[in-house]
Amino acid sequence: MSVSGEKPLPAMAGEVIIVGGGMVGATLACLLGQAGMPVTLLDAREGPLDAAAAGRGQPGLRVSALTPVSQRLLDGLGAWSWMRARRVTPYHHMQVWDAEGTGAVSFSADRAGLPVLGHIVENDVVVAALEARLAMLPTVRRRFGARVTGLEDTDGGREVVLADGERLAAPLVVAADGARSPLRELAGIEVEAHDTGHAAVVTTVRIAHPHGGVARQAFLADGPLAFLPLTLGDDAGYCSIVWSTSPEQARRLTGLSAEALGQALETAIEGRLGAVTVIDRAQAVPLTQRHARRYVLPGLALVGDAAHSIHPLAGQGVNLGLMDVAVLAEELLEGRRRGVAPGCEAWLARYARRRRGDNAAMLKLMDGFRLLFGARHPALSLARNLGLAGVDRLAPLKRLLMQQATGRRGRLPSSCR
């Protein structure tokens, strides 16, 4: 019992507190819990997803393109089989072209020596699968409706303060709470941020011609448009749409009727999939690229969008986050074997060194693509068309880009091999 005027003593919450129960935070909790580490997962949502509804009926609005490396990670956690039994859509080919010119490049899983290039999966299916796995791990404690409003130092760790006044302490707190991470702000970690000048319009469509397991992306004058394949049962007649465009154009598109938006999408994709029928609401999401100046402090680590948020141009956002937690878990478990406290900044720096450079390179690459393909100057238009054609002809360069797109970069953690 605390004396009047004194703050209540914090409850110990195991070795690690993870703030954020989305795909990235839940994956980290599974990795640590599967190894027997005591973890508390705090989620602002009021309860778990409805597992019976995930992957059933109409596809969810938000999807991710998971690489084969991310698939191996989720498979090792026992989540992939649950996801596959619900709904995942493999894609074996990618087609990318400049709608303002003649440049084009295509990628094939067969030529890359892979069974697939990746899978399009609804975010809710991934989270529901991870939650099913978490329910089986005795060292993981889940807390829903837990909103963090404060972060304080303690002897030997960190303490989080919840909206209801409860305090929880652990040697390490991990921020997996999204691009606008409240925890990152509470810790005073600065970010390098700039507005991409784009907003992403997302929706789901029915297409007249089957997608054939092909992910398609057209570079339009105002930004890239992706048709990502979705399959419901045996019906390959659906796609998830991600149209990155100017905020003004995004407002116009989301204000159209479903019929008018379908016609706009059909025209933009040059009729390659026949008539396009919009079957869900269209939502616009502002796109701001962010990169935290630091990934770690004593007793604190940032992962996923809390550490970096990227333009959806190459669909790498969640894959970078999953790689973050795979590396962090590997370092934490190795430190545990050596008797190192989870919140030791010197040891956490190993995680930061392995991930910050790779993430920074991907952010710069995507920003370069965005600027190049958004340019209207005739010389740049010619350069990008010649560039796409050159990539399609040069096998070594194509292999390098394929390695980037499929997640096979640098030293992979053991859970992803």
Residue range 287-297, pLDDT digits in tens? 888 999 999 99
Residue 158 belongs to what H/E stretch?
strand 157-162
Per-residue confidence (pLDDT) for residue 2, from 0 to 100: 42
Answer yes or no: are the C-beta atoms of 170 and 17 closer than 8 Å: yes
Per-residue confidence (pLDDT) for residue 81, from 0 to 100: 97
390 has pLDDT over 60: no
**Mean pLDDT for the stretch of residues 7-21:** 86
Pairing verdict, β 308-309 and 104-108: unpaired
Per-residue confidence (pLDDT) for residue 284, from 0 to 100: 95
Greater confidence (197 vs 18) lies with 18
Per-residue confidence (pLDDT) for residue 316, from 0 to 100: 72
Per-residue confidence (pLDDT) for residue 19, from 0 to 100: 98
Answer yes or no: are the C-beta atoms of 251 and 285 closer than 8 Å: no
Per-residue confidence (pLDDT) for residue 61, from 0 to 100: 92
Residue range 180-227, pLDDT digits in tens? 999 999 999 999 998 888 899 999 999 999 999 999 999 888 888 999
List b or e across 118-134, with b for residues whose CB sees 16 or more CB atoms inside 10 angstroms. Answer: bbbbbbbbbbbbbbbbb
Greater confidence (101 vs 61) lies with 61
- Residues sharing a CB contact under 8 Å with residue 18, sequence separation 6 or more, in sequence order: 25, 28, 29, 39, 40, 41, 42, 173, 174, 176
* Neighbour order of strands in the sheet with 296-297: 140-144, 39-43, 16-19, 172-175, 300-302, 296-297
Per-residue confidence (pLDDT) for residue 104, from 0 to 100: 80
C-alpha 49 chain-centroid distance = 18
Strand partners, 349: none
- By CB atoms closer than 10 A (0-12, 13-18, 19+), residue 103 is buried
* CA 54/CA 112 separation, integer angstroms: 32
pTM, whole model, 2 decimals?
0.92
175 has pLDDT over 90: yes
SS3 229: strand
259 has pLDDT over 50: yes
Per-residue confidence (pLDDT) for residue 378, from 0 to 100: 47
Greater confidence (365 vs 411) lies with 411
Structure tokens at 346: 């010197």
Band the pLDDT of 101: cuts 50, 70, 90.
low
376 has pLDDT over 60: no
Residue range 114-150, pLDDT digits in tens? 899 999 999 999 999 999 999 999 999 999 999 999 9
Greater confidence (219 vs 315) lies with 219
- Residues sharing a CB contact under 8 Å with residue 378, sequence separation 6 or more, in sequence order: none
Please spell the DSSP secondary structure of 24-66, one letter per residue: HHHHHHHHHHHTT--EEEEESSSS---TTTTTSSSPPS-EEEE
* CA 158/CA 111 separation, integer angstroms: 49
Share of the chain above pLDDT 70, in %: 87
**What is the CB-side half-sphere exposure of residue 42 using CA atoms within 13 A?**
26
Answer yes or no: are the C-beta atoms of 70 and 407 closer than 8 Å: yes
Answer yes or no: are the C-beta atoms of 288 and 194 closer than 8 Å: yes
* 396-402 LR contacts (CB < 8 Å, sep 24+): 398/105, 398/107, 399/112, 401/107, 402/107, 402/112, 402/117
Per-residue confidence (pLDDT) for residue 397, from 0 to 100: 46
Structure tokens at 187: 């810790």
Per-residue confidence (pLDDT) for residue 361, from 0 to 100: 85
**Mean pLDDT for the stretch of residues 248-256:** 97
- End-to-end, the C-alpha distance of the chain in Å comes to 49
Per-residue confidence (pLDDT) for residue 83, from 0 to 100: 97
* CA 195/CA 198 separation, integer angstroms: 8
How much is the mean pLDDT over the chain? 89
For residue 295, count other CB atoms closer than 10 A to its CB: 26
Per-residue confidence (pLDDT) for residue 382, from 0 to 100: 43
Residue range 271-289, pLDDT digits in tens? 999 999 999 999 999 888 8
Q: Amino acid identity, residue 290?
A: R
Per-residue confidence (pLDDT) for residue 367, from 0 to 100: 67
292: left (phi over 0), alpha (psi -120 to 50) or beta: beta
Q: Report the range out of 58-67, 258-267, 377-386, 406-415 with the highest average pLDDT.
A: 258-267
- Locate tokens 């360069």: which residue? 397
Per-residue confidence (pLDDT) for residue 3, from 0 to 100: 44
